[in-house]
């Protein structure tokens, strides 16, 4: 057996292993002027599970259509399940998790769930390149973060292209101002090895050392978050620090394409590659294009 990975852009992948098709996030639709596959979530007709890292639209939106078109089961936070329920998905098609659970997906395939952190999206408007050093923003309390998030949304809905604005409006059904719902990290154990999936740049320092994946899919965008505080440094160093802690055999990036023009950028991964190789020279860095069916486990 082997495991194959397809990237749909942003942080969405499908993992095919042991006869299962496991979607990692579900966001496939794009604004007209964005990078992407040209597909929408409505085009997906094969899925057994959907693992959703958090409840923001660029991770969860589309899961409702994949669930309607397949017999898949969704695994996600209580907020992700709430959003799907408002869109008509029966509760028996979903599993609520918060971290600490291990779920059997089939004979020989399990997924373990870990609590995590969302990137400090409130600390910036458009994303910076991976080698830009970001300092400050320490000790910013919840109310101030919410005020900054309101300013970010104002920017996105007034200063971006008409295509991006229309996409943001279309992607909101079922969502509310309840935030990310609690970010999660998933570790999928298969007969061929283990795959970690993280869809936003954050983690708890007490959690990551306990995870030892063969393949790590790490978010490579935004301002990193460790234990609730923004990283004092670059995105490249943040990713490298995670690799140094977990020391996977293979590394794959997510969330690094220009999926939402005016906010995202097509991240240059060279500074990340250099920082990663400096701390873990043996790691194999895989940078697949869209829908390439990359073999990641033998």
Alpha-carbon gap, residue 51 to 95, rounded angstroms: 10
Instruction: Quickly state the pLDDT bin for 21 (edges 50, 70, 90).
Output: very high
pLDDT of 256 > 80? The answer is yes
User: What six digits make up the tokens of 220?
Assistant: 């490579």
In the sheet where 229-230 sits, what is the strand order? 202-203, 225-226, 229-230
Alpha-carbon gap, residue 112 to 102, rounded angstroms: 4
Residues in the chain: 298
CB 59 within 8 A of CB 26: yes
State pTM to two decimals: 0.97
Give me the helices (H) in the chain, please.
57-60, 63-69, 78-86, 142-158, 162-170, 235-246, 270-279
DSSP 43: G
CA distances from 43 to 24, 66, 143, 209 (A): 16, 8, 40, 38
What's the average model confidence in pLDDT over 279-283?
98
Alpha-carbon gap, residue 108 to 298, rounded angstroms: 15
Per-residue pLDDT reduced to its tens digit, 57-81: 999 999 999 999 999 999 999 999 9
Domains of the chain as residue ranges with CATH: 3-122+173-297 (3.60.15.10)
pLDDT at residue 235, as a whole number: 98
CB 167 within 8 A of CB 30: yes
pLDDT of 15 > 70? The answer is yes
pLDDT of 176 > 60? The answer is no
pLDDT at residue 1, as a whole number: 76
pLDDT at residue 177, as a whole number: 60
Q: Which residue has the tokens 């929408």?
A: 40
Q: What phi and psi values does residue 131 have, to the nearest 5 degrees?
A: -95, 5
What's the average model confidence in pLDDT over 257-286?
97
Per-residue pLDDT reduced to its tens digit, 149-166: 889 989 988 989 999 999
Alpha-carbon gap, residue 294 to 277, rounded angstroms: 21
Instruction: Quickly state the pLDDT bin for 174 (edges 50, 70, 90).
Output: low
Determine the Cα angle at 230 with ends 145 and 164, to 5°. 60
pLDDT of 173 > 90? The answer is no
pLDDT at residue 90, as a whole number: 98
Instruction: Report strand pairing: 184-190 vs 109-115.
Output: antiparallel
Per-residue pLDDT reduced to its tens digit, 85-135: 999 999 999 999 999 999 999 999 999 999 999 999 999 888 999 999 999
Alpha-carbon gap, residue 31 to 107, rounded angstroms: 39
pLDDT at residue 70, as a whole number: 98
């Amino acid at each position: 057996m082997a495991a194959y990975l397809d990237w749909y852009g942003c942080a969405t992948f499908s993992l095919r292993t042991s006869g299962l098709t496991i979607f990692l996030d579900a966001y496939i639709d794009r604004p007209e002027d964005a990078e992407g596959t040209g597909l929408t979530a409505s085009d997906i007709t094969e899925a057994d599970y959907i693992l959703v890292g958090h409840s923001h639209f660029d991770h969860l939106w589309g899961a409702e259509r994949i669930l309607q078109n397949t017999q898949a089961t969704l695994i996600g936070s209580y907020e992700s399940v709430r959003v799907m329920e408002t869109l008509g998905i029966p509760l028996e098609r979903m599993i609520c998790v918060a971290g600490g659970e291990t779920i059997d997906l089939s004979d020989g395939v399990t997924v373990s769930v870990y609590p995590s952190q969302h990137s400090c999206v409130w600390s910036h408007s458009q994303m910076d390149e991976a080698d830009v050093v970001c300092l400050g923003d320490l000790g910013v309390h919840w109310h101030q973060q919410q005020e900054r998030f309101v300013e970010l949304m104002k920017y996105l809905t007034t200063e971006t292209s008409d295509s991006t604005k229309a996409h943001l409006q279309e992607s909101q059904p079922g969502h509310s101002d309840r935030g990310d719902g609690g970010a999660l990290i998933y570790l999928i154990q298969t007969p061929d090895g283990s795959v970690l999936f993280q869809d936003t740049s954050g983690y708890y320092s007490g959690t990551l050392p306990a995870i030892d994946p063969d393949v790590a899919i790490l978010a490579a965008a935004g301002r990193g978050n460790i234990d609730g505080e923004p990283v004092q440094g670059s995105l490249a160093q943040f990713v490298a620090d995670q690799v140094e802690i977990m020391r996977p055999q293979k590394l794959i990036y997510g969330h690094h394409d220009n999926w939402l023009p005016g906010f995202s950028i097509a991240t240059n991964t060279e500074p990340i590659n250099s920082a990663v190789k400096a701390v873990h020279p043996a790691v194999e860095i895989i940078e697949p294009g869209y829908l390439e069916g990359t073999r990641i486990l033998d």
